[in-house]
Amino acid sequence: MAGSALGHAEVPPWIEPMLAKPDRGRLPSGPEWTYEYKLDGYRACMQVAPDGTTVLTSRNGIIFTNEFPSLSGVLAPALEGRSAVLDGEIVVYNDAGQIDFGALQERRGRYRRHAKLTRGGTPFEDVDVRFLAFDLLRLGDESLLDAPYDERRAQLERLPMPDPYRVAVVPAFTFDALAADRITPEKLLDRVTRAGHEGLIAKLRTSTYVPGQRPDSWMKHPLTQTQEVIVCGWRPGQNRLAGTLGGLLLGAHHPDTGALQYIGDVGTGFSESSRRDLQARLEPLERPTHPFAETPPRDDVRRARWVEPVLVGEVVYRQFTRGAGRLRHTAWRGLREDKAPQGVIAPTSQLAMSTPQPAESSTPTVRSPGNKVVVQAGARRLTLSNLDKLMYPATGFTKSAVIRYYTLIAPALLPHVAGRPITTIRFPDGVEGQRFFREERATRRTRLATHRPPAQQWVTRQWRRDRVSAVRRTGRAGLGCEPRRAGTSCTTVDGRRQWATADA
């Protein structure tokens, strides 16, 4: 799609964007780092000529100036006759004041229909967009690619923003500035979460700008897990979705071999209009066979209609499984016209970034057969299994991450629970699955009762007397449960009580 200023001789050339590398769940920390919001929009390079003529180029080199006519010339008053190249993102805000990628995608769909009907002859007017700049790559005749981040950032912040509704600079927070306000990077992340942003980007303050590369000097820490995918096929809908698109079959390139591999499907997150639009885009691309290097399992691709792997989309997911390499619990976010299929790389398993670490007093971890880990905790030898089981789907925390958390806080937690009866809520299938309440009672062997203060012993005896009176009066045991004898415990499962000895 050609912009109106494509042939303008004085417009600076496009600079391929520098990319951020995933931090694998560990947000960088230290005075050498600066933190910026991770934005949820379209990456764009803004190229401005001395006369204000503006070209907008996407991440993969596609000029899409005509799609955002309100941004044309927006920075001309600030540049005072100089040319410039800025790196940033184009975003749309919802009614709550949050950046809304879905609204941006819907806007693009309306633009495509408008361009098809008018053949580009009429300017496109729609919901307002905003260009959020986070780097300055060129100013006048000077290239800033070799300048350190701090210098580029300082020059960017000195540029006045003529219209803050259409263009602004992304806020940045140095580690030292946060520390002066008694804020850690983790606390900043909490604020980002509450504000509805996508995450943080940590940037090394001494780093230069490396076009087209993904170095360790830019690290991204997303709050939600998103993945770029290649649309490799689709599955017709059934029942109420009969006659429309039911789901998509997804692929990505293997990070080591580069081969196109099947990574799962997605069947949720579509609106009725997006199902129709996607089906219309995919039907002309159909091919007789799958495009993958290896044939996917037959059960996974029943009723599949294969297409040429040329469209890139984005999904939200909770987990990428080991072994088979499949995205789980996916939801569709939309097509990414700004990204090329050859740049879509399959994710790696989260287990590698969250393997539980033993306490300082423990012996080294030992791998055992069956994908288990054996750790030594004091005098006890524990076998940990199913470490990649997803326990907190909203954040992506696995069982191994939860184990590591409790290992780290054990020195502070254990003194408070030692010698006390404990009621435990168990979530075998994660916090969104079925829950079980388990009450552990004292045994003579552990002599927990001897640790209770006299007041607590009186409250316990009084509670038992009131409990017996209530049962005699109503004939019902109520919601709670009282152990029938010392050394037993009670588990409540879906309102039904189950008894077992504590030693079992």
Alpha carbons 44 and 74: distance in angstroms, whole number: 15
What are the angstrom distances between the C-alpha of 42 and each of 130, 138, 483?
11, 20, 60
- Residues 71, 166 contacting (CB under 8 angstroms): yes
Q: Which residues contact 138 (CB under 8 A, 6 or more apart)?
A: 12, 15, 83, 84, 85, 144, 145
Give alpha helix (H) positions in 244-327. Answer: 272-282
- Integer-rounded Cα radius of gyration of the chain: 29
Sort 307 into a burial class: Cβ within 10 Å, 0-12 / 13-18 / 19+.
buried
- Residues 321, 328 contacting (CB under 8 angstroms): yes
Alpha carbons 476 and 455: distance in angstroms, whole number: 28
- Residues 99, 12 contacting (CB under 8 angstroms): no
Phi, psi of 337 (to 5 degrees): -70, -20
Residue type, 407: T
Alpha carbons 96 and 476: distance in angstroms, whole number: 50
What's the 3-state SS for 370-406? CCEEEEEECCEEEEECCCCCEEECCCCEEHHHHHHHH
Residue type, 309: P
Cα–Cα–Cα angle for 226, 228, 230, rounded to 5 degrees: 145
Using CA of residue 188, residue 189, residue 190, residue 194, what is the dihedral sign? positive
Alpha carbons 37 and 191: distance in angstroms, whole number: 11
- Residues 53, 82 contacting (CB under 8 angstroms): no
Residue 55 in tokens: 């070209």
Residues with catalytic roles: 38
For residue 217, give the DSSP letter. Answer: T
Q: Of 303, 300, 306, which Cα lies nearest the Cα of 325? A: 300
- Residues 249, 232 contacting (CB under 8 angstroms): yes
